[in-house]
């Protein structure tokens, strides 16, 4: 799959700007093709003039930049004032024990009866003002519903922005909706592009096939597994058995580190594992529910300090299984 150029991405971001695009606008064929190419690019932000700094994880290949692309640009050499703080973890064990405990919880809970073409999630993005390099964290509540004919709808409700240096807001159990619908995108049959349109099976090989469809290589690292899993979970709500198979595949790889227990940004008890990107420029933390064992979130961190972001700055995060009452 060809990689998108800087010029193409700049143009796409301009076209996707909420100030220019009606909220019911549909991406055209060229935009869809370009968005699919975006999903094949490096998962960490580029560092150059007029480059997006912090971004949400992709919602779906067909709609990501159109729905929740970030339009704030940063001038060369600008120093960022403050950045979101990572979660605090305690009591780390081993990766094998973390996965085993999660699988035990998954087996004990009923979970969804069938995989569903429905995902409700909360996302946070790190937005920087290009004039004075001040930053805000912008939460969004996202509901995706799509059908077998690849029609669907994405509803994005903006949360209330807050200062990334506000420690209490960064670990808050609340996601405060502003009440503003920033996107209500309706897609006709065939407009929702996905590599996995039929419900995936529940065996390890069937789940492996779904992850491969979302970009996982034949001999994956832990980062590869979780990067593909996050893309799959942005389009499908899986059964507990299917999520357990993802963890089994992860258990067969190298590169994960157990972090222990924490409380996520929705106030849920979680355990975490960290994986690093191949180039070491970014790392992802996967969050597993301490109660159900399900994968309930991903958090991305900048690892290499540069002129825009310090090492350890949180770039963005997405939480799944968000309660219905949170999306208004």
Phi, psi of 155 (to 5 degrees): -115, 125
pLDDT score, position 133? 63
pLDDT score, position 123? 87
d(CA 41, CA 45): 10
pLDDT score, position 108? 96
pLDDT score, position 241? 98
d(CA 50, CA 291): 43
pLDDT score, position 74? 34
**Nearest alpha-carbon partner for 226 in 194, 165, 273:** 273
d(CA 32, CA 22): 17
pLDDT score, position 223? 95
**Nearest alpha-carbon partner for 282 in 13, 55, 3, 51:** 55
pLDDT score, position 139? 84
The model's pLDDT over 101-137, given as tens digits with 9 standing for 90+, comes to 999 999 998 999 999 999 999 888 767 666 666 777 7
- Contact indicator for 64, 42 with CB cutoff of 8 Å: no
As to burial, measured by CB atoms within 10 angstroms (0-12 exposed, 13-18 middle, 19+ buried), residue 154 is: buried
Low-confidence stretches of the chain (pLDDT beneath 70): 1-84, 126, 128-133, 167-177, 307-308, 323-328
The full length of the chain comes to: 328
As to burial, measured by CB atoms within 10 angstroms (0-12 exposed, 13-18 middle, 19+ buried), residue 217 is: exposed
d(CA 53, CA 302): 10
Q: How far, rounded to the nearest angstrom, does the alpha carbon of residue 30 sit from its chain's CA centroid?
A: 24
pLDDT score, position 175? 63
pLDDT score, position 11? 38
* pTM for the model: 0.75
The model's pLDDT over 283-308, given as tens digits with 9 standing for 90+, comes to 999 999 999 999 999 998 888 887 66
pLDDT score, position 280? 86
d(CA 59, CA 29): 18
The tokens for 249 are 């595949």
pLDDT score, position 265? 82
């Amino acid at each position: 799959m060809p990689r998108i150029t800087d010029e193409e991405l700049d143009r796409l971001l301009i076209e996707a700007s909420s100030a220019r695009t009606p909220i019911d606008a549909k991406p055209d064929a060229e935009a869809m093709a370009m968005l699919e190419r975006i999903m094949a690019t490096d998962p960490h932000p580029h560092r150059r003039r007029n480059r997006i700094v912090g971004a949400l994880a992709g919602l779906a290949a067909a709609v990501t930049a159109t729905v929740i692309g970030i339009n704030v640009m940063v001038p060369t050499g600008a120093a960022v004032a403050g950045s979101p703080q990572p979660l605090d973890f305690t009591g780390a064990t081993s990766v094998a024990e973390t996965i085993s405990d999660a699988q035990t919880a998954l087996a004990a809970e009923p979970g969804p009866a069938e995989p569903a073409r429905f995902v409700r999630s909360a996302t946070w993005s790190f937005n920087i003002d290009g004039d004075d390099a001040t930053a805000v964290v912008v939460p969004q509540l996202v509901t995706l519903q799509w059908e077998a004919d690849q029609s669907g709808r994405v509803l994005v409700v903006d949360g209330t922005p807050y200062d990334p240096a506000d420690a209490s807001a960064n670990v808050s159990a609340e996601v405060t909706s502003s009440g503003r619908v920033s996107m209500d995108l309706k897609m006709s049959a065939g407009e929702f592009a996905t590599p996995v349109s039929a419900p995936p099976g529940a065996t390890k090989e069937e789940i492996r096939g779904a992850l491969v469809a979302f970009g996982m290589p034949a001999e994956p690292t832990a980062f590869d597994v979780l990067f593909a899993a996050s893309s799959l979970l942005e389009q499908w709500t899986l059964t507990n058995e299917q999520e357990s198979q993802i963890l089994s595949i992860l258990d067969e790889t190298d590169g994960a580190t157990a972090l222990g227990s924490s409380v996520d940004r929705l106030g849920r008890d979680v355990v975490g594992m960290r994986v690093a990107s191949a180039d070491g420029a970014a790392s992802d933390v996967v969050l597993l529910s301490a109660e159900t064992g399900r994968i309930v979130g991903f958090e991305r961190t900048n690892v290499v300090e540069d002129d825009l972001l310090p090492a350890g700055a949180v770039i963005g995060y997405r939480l799944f299984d968000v309660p219905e009452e949170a999306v208004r």
